[in-house]
């Protein structure tokens, strides 16, 4: 059902994290160990912010499998970024097309999602109607993930991100309930404005997809002692991933059920995630 990765910290070439680790995201596209699906070959995407300049993210998204995409390898080898999101997709039924590939973008914001809205085709109309009509025209694809992003934008993602995502989740659960769909929401989400990253782990049934964050930069460095790029990482560098990129004891910490985290300058935050009824 997809895997993703979010990075914030010292600018790094994308390939250091997408290709080089033992269980890299690209490797997970063929052989995920913790995913519901072992193969994530229905498209991919990466969204990155530039090293200098304004926080306008660029996207590269493809519809084939990440593992055999020659352009992704080139781009990952030539672009450095202080903040990026990457995603590999296993479709839960919607079409394999670029507009369904994550990250989704709105102005300076990016969004990636793993999970699904159960019986989305039944709930889709009601959920889509709740999207702010001014945002409606920017819905380009057909996924639950993109509708979730636009609902969060509708509910004030730009101003109060955690509250906005909680309202989105509350709406999905209310609409699900109205249609008799049990446990409608399953999600790990990362969203960013180019400065901070908000991560969420939640499911209606209380049994969410896996999510981990890197405990300390030194742990990452110890993973790859010969990697000179990693040696230079700042202490504030953080990585959040659907599944660990390696086996190093203590380097990865699970994100608790029903919680959110904020990666930012200074102390990071973590808190309880509670859907807000609409």
Both tokens assigned to 264: 């930012």
Torsion of CA 139, 144, 145, 150, to 10 degrees: 40
Angle at 57 between CA 171 and CA 188, to 5 degrees: 35
* 38 sits near its own copies (criterion: CB under 8 A): yes
Piece of the chain touching its own copies by CB under 8 A; list 3-11, 120-128, 147-155, 156-164: 120-128
Of 22, 107, 121, 218, which one interacts with its own copies (CB under 8 A)?
121
Q: How far apart (Å, rounded) are the C-alpha atoms in residues 156 and 106?
A: 13
The β-bridge relationship of strands 212-214 and 80-88 is: unpaired
* 55 sits near its own copies (criterion: CB under 8 A): no
Q: How far apart (Å, rounded) are the C-alpha atoms in residues 46 and 149?
A: 16
Q: How far apart (Å, rounded) are the C-alpha atoms in residues 165 and 181?
A: 20
* 70 sits near its own copies (criterion: CB under 8 A): yes
* 141 sits near its own copies (criterion: CB under 8 A): yes
Of 16, 42, 144, 243, which one interacts with its own copies (CB under 8 A)?
42
Smallest distance, Å, CB 61 to its own copies? 7
* 140 sits near its own copies (criterion: CB under 8 A): yes
Smallest distance, Å, CB 42 to its own copies? 6
Instruction: Give the count of beta carbons closer than 10 Å to the beta carbon of residue 98.
Output: 13
4, β-bridge pairs: 87
Of 96, 178, 182, 270, which one interacts with its own copies (CB under 8 A)?
96
Give the ranges where 132-193 is alpha helix by DSSP (H).
144-154, 161-178
Q: How far apart (Å, rounded) are the C-alpha atoms in residues 136 and 22?
A: 41
Of 11, 35, 65, 261, which one interacts with its own copies (CB under 8 A)?
65
Q: Which is nearer to its own copies, 128 or 221 (CB)?
A: 128
* 51 sits near its own copies (criterion: CB under 8 A): no
Q: How far apart (Å, rounded) are the C-alpha atoms in residues 47 and 36?
A: 24
Piece of the chain touching its own copies by CB under 8 A; list 14-22, 118-126, 197-205, 269-277: 118-126
Q: Which residues contact its own copies (rule: CB under 8 A)? A: 30-31, 38-39, 41-42, 50, 58-65, 67-68, 70-71, 74-75, 77-79, 91, 95-99, 121-122, 124-125, 129, 133, 136-137, 139-142
């Amino acid at each position: 059902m997809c895997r993703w990765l979010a990075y914030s910290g010292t600018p790094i070439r994308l390939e250091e994290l997408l290709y080089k680790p033992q269980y890299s995201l690209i490797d997970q596209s063929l052989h995920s160990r913790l995913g519901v699906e072992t193969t994530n070959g229905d498209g991919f995407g990466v969204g990155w912010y530039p090293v200098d300049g304004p926080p306008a993210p660029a996207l590269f998204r493809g519809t084939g499998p990440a593992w055999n995409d020659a352009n992704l390898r080139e781009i990952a080898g030539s672009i450095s970024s202080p903040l990026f999101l990457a995603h590999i997709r296993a479709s839960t039924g919607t079409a394999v097309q670029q507009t369904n590939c994550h990250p989704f973008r709105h102005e300076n914001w990016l969004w990636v999602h793993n999970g699904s809205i159960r019986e989305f085709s039944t709930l889709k109309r009601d959920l889509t109607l709740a999207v702010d009509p001014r945002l409606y025209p920017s819905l380009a694809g057909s996924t639950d993930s993109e509708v979730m992003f636009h609902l969060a934008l509708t509910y004030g993602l730009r101003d109060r991100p955690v509250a906005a995502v909680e309202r989105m989740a509350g709406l999905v659960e209310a609409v699900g309930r109205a249609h008799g769909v049990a446990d409608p929401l399953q999600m790990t989400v990362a969203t960013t404005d180019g400065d901070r990253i908000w991560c969420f782990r939640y499911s209606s049934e209380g049994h969410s997809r896996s999510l981990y964050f890197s405990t300390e930069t030194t742990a990452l460095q110890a993973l790859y002692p010969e990697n000179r790029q990693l040696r230079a990482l700042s202490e504030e560098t953080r990585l959040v991933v659907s599944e660990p990129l390696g086996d190093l004891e203590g380097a990865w910490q699970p994100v608790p059920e029903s919680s959110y985290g904020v990666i930012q300058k200074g102390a990071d935050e973590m808190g309880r995630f509670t859907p807000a009824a609409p």
